[in-house]
Amino acid sequence: MTTVAIADGGTAAEEIQSDPCFTIEIECEDATRRRYRFEPRQERPGWWRSVDEWTGTSWECHDRECVRSVSLTVDGGSII
């Protein structure tokens, strides 16, 4: 069971069978929408970090790299 933080400060609990994937989506000052996705690698330890940009109709991947570890904290509390 994993507890995840909600943007309004609440939390939600849900059962996750494998390492959790998570996405951080932002809207820049120029109205460009981007998202940063983190997905566990299946074939090796580590994570895939992808940077996607909204084209107006779909998300387009602009960058992807393998990272060794990920730490996610919200208000000082560790999520991952």
Name the residue ranges covered by the structural domains of the chain.
19-78
The C-alpha atoms of residue 65 and residue 44 are separated, in whole angstroms, by 13
Tokens of 6: 């909600």
The C-alpha atoms of residue 68 and residue 6 are separated, in whole angstroms, by 25
pTM above 0.75, yes or no: no
CB-based burial of residue 24 (10 Å sphere; 0-12 exposed, 13-18 middle, 19+ buried)? exposed
**In a structure prediction context, what are the per-residue pLDDT tens digits for the chain, which is 80 residues long?**
444 555 555 555 554 455 678 899 999 999 999 999 999 998 899 999 999 999 999 999 999 999 999 888 888 877 77
**Cα angle at 26 between 60 and 4, to 5 degrees?**
105
